[in-house]
Structure 1
C-alpha cells in the first residue's frame, strides 16, 4: 500500500504521476486513439446518436478506458475494501466497518451512472452489473492511502445496477489536488458477486466535472486549496482527459445550497 509521504505538494505530485498510469496508460491511451481513428473512418456514432429514421444504431463507442490511479482500494495496490462487509452501499460519506468512523465533509453531490450495452447501440441497460466508485475528499485526500485518513474508507462504495442500468451514490464534491482535473474513479463489473470478489473488471474509467461548477463549489468554505490547484489546470492539459473528455464529462444540475447531481452514461 502506497501512503502519501512528506509535504502536501509532494503528495499531490505523486498522485499526479501515478494517475498517469505509467506502463498501464501507454497502451490505454494508444487504444483510445485507435478507437477514435476507427470510429472516424467507419462513422461509428457516439452515445446519444441515432439513425435518421429515429431507430437506435447497432453500435456505439464504449466508455474510454483509464487508469485506476494509485489509490483504488480494489486489491491491485495494497488494501482491498471490496471484500469488506458494508462496502455495498449508496451513501459514501461516512466510513464503515472497523474504520475510524469519520465523515467526509463538503458540498453535497449525488452521482448517477447509467450502464448500457455498447454492442446494442447503447439502448439496452446492463441490469445486474455493478459499479465500484471512489474519489478524493474535499482536501484532496484518498481514504485508506493518504496520511491522516489511512484509517478511513469513506468515499468508496459499490452498487448493483437496477432495471434501468443505473446506480446512484450520495457523496460530496471532490477537491482538486495538484496536477489532476477534478474527477471520480469507477470500475464496472459484470455482477455484484464479481465486484465484491474484486475480480473480472469489465471497464475502468473516470468522470470529469465541468469547470463552471468546479469554480462555484471551490468558492465555498473548505475548498480553498482547490482554487489555486484548478487555476493551473484545464481539461485539455490534464494527463487523463487531454485526448478527449466528451464521453466522460458529467451532466450537472443543482446548486451549492441544494447540492449537485452528476449524471453520466457508461457504455460497456
Structure 2
C-alpha cells in the first residue's frame, strides 16, 4: 500500500482521481486503495442508481466496478464513468440471485413399472443395508451386476431456500442391468436387489453412487430412475417422495458402451429408439442429461444437478400398474414405462 498523499492547493489539480474523488494513495491504482475507499465508492454508486432511476435510467447501466483491475487511473472522471457504465449489470448481482434466475425445477417423471419402492409390491427400501454407495451387488450377498463402471454424483438443490444444497435428503436410484433386466422383477432376478440403493446427501447436497452403465431394452431410451425424499426416515413410504424423475444417458456414451461384450442385448433396442421418440424424454431431456467423462476401459463419471421446489407437489411416481408400451402404444396409469425386457412379469394393480 502506498503512502497517503498530502493534498495541498498547489498540487491538487495534478492528483489522480477516480469518479471525482482524489485517490488517497497516489502511488496505487483505484482497486488498491483499501476497503474504506471501495465501500465509499459502492455507497456513492448506490445513491447514483437511485437518482438515475428517478429519470427512468436503468440501474443495470451502473455497475459496481470499483475493484476492476482495468479501471482508469487518470484524472479524467468522464472516462471512469464511461467504463463504469459499460460494465455488465450482473457484476452487482450475487451468485445466489443469478442462480435463482436461471434454475428451473427438475422434470418429474413416472417411476415406471419396476420401482421396488413398495408402490406396486416389491420393496427394497425396507431392507437393512439399502443405504449404500456401491449398488452393483445384491444387498446381503447374491448376484453382482456386470458392466462398464459408472460413478454417479447427484447434487440436490433446494430452490425454496435460495438454491442452497439440500442436506439430509435421501436419494434412491434404480435401473436395469446390462441385459435390460430389473432386479426384484425380471425372471430369475426376483430374489436379487442389485442396482438399487439409497444415499443421504451431505452438507453440500451431494450423493455418490457406484454402479454400471444401464443397458437398453425395447421402447425406452437408456435411463436411471431416482426418487428424492426429505429424509431417510421417509423412504419407507413411496408417497413421501418430493421428486420422482429419470436420468437420460448421453447417446455418445451409450454407443461406445453397447459395443462391448456385456451389452450385446442392448444393440438392437438402442437402434430402434431416439430421445425424440422416447415416451418419457420426448418433451425435453437437457436438464436430465448428466455431464459425463471417461471411456469403456476406465469407466465413466457422471454429474447431475437436481433442483427441487418443495412447495410444488410431486407429480411423478405412481408406478404403472400395467406395463407401459413403447412409442405409439398405450400405457397404464402412472405414466409410460416403455416395453419391458423379455420375461418381465406384470406388476400387480394398485
Greater RCO structure (CA 8 Å; 6+ sep):
1
Equivalent-residue separation in structure 2 for 1:232 and 1:187 (angstroms): 28
For residue 119 of structure 1, what is the aligned residue in structure 2? 160
Q: How many residues are paired up?
A: 215
- Give the aligned CA root-mean-square deviation in angstroms: 1.5
1:119 Cα deviation from its structure 2 partner = 2.7
**CA distance in 1: counterparts of 2:144 and 2:304, whole angstroms:** 25
- Residue 223 of structure 2 is matched in structure 1 by 183
Answering whether residue 128 of structure 2 is matched by residue 128 of structure 1, we say no
1:214-233 alpha-carbon deviations (Å, 9 max, x no partner): 00000001111211111111
- The answer on whether the counterparts of 1:83 and 1:198 sit within 8 Å (CA) in structure 2 is no
- C-alpha deviation, 1:121, in angstroms: 4.9
Point out where structure 2 has 5 or more consecutive residues left out of the alignment: 1-88, 309-350
Larger Rg: 2
The one of 111, 118, 132 equivalent to 1:68 is: 111
1:198–1:237: structure 2 CA closer, same or farther, 3 Å change rule?
Answer: closer
Provide the C-alpha distance between the structure 2 equivalents of 1:87 and 1:199, rounded to a whole number of angstroms. 18
Q: Please report the TM-score for the alignment, with normalisation by the length of structure 2.
A: 0.59
Supply the distance in 1 between the matched residues of 2:198 and 2:188 (Cα, whole angstroms).
24
**1:103 shift after superposition:** 0.4
Distance 2:269 2:307 in 1: 31
TM-score in terms of structure 1 length: 0.77
More strand by share: 1
Matched, 1:236 2:279: no
CA offsets per residue over residues 205-259 of structure 1, 9 Å max, x none? 0000110110000000111121111111111111000000111001101111111
| Runs of 5+ consecutive residues of structure 1 not aligned to the other structure | 1-50
Following the alignment from structure 1 to structure 2, what is the Cα–Cα distance between the partners of residues 88 and 188? 13
User: For the structure 1 residues 121 and 248, does the alpha-carbon distance in structure 2 shift closer, same or farther, using more than 3 Å as the test?
Assistant: farther
Query: Which 4+ stretches in 1 moved above 6 angstroms?
Result: none
**What is the CA distance between 1:112 and its match in structure 2?**
0.8
CA distance in structure 2 between the partners assigned to 1:237 and 1:198 by the alignment: 29
Whole-Å separation in 2 of the counterparts to 1:228 and 1:119:
43
CA deviation after TM superposition for structure 1 residue 198, in Å: 4.3
Q: How does 1:40-119 map to 2 (within 5 A)?
A: 52-53=90-91, 54-55=93-94, 56-57=96-97, 58=100, 60-97=103-140, 101-119=142-160
- In 2, distance between residues paired with 1:248 and 1:119? 20
Contact 1:219–1:227 (CA under 8 A) maintained in structure 2: yes
C-alpha distance in 1, partners of 2:212/2:121? Answer: 25
Whole-angstrom distance in 2 between the partners of 1:180 and 1:111: 21
Moved more, 126-135 or 196-205: 196-205
1:203 pairs with one of 222, 243, 246: 243
Q: Does residue 255 of the first structure (1) align with residue 298 of the second (2)? A: no
Query: Shift of the alpha carbon at 1:164?
Result: 0.7
Cα deviation, residue 196, structure 1: 4.2
User: Are 1:140 and 2:180 matched, yes or no?
Assistant: yes
Match of 1:151 in 2: 191
Distance 1:160 1:120 in 2: 19
| CA shift digits 1:96-146 (9 cap, x unpaired) | 13xx60000000011111000123453x10000110000000000000001
Q: Please tell me whether the aligned partners of residues 83 and 197 of structure 1 are also in contact (alpha carbons under 8 angstroms).
A: no
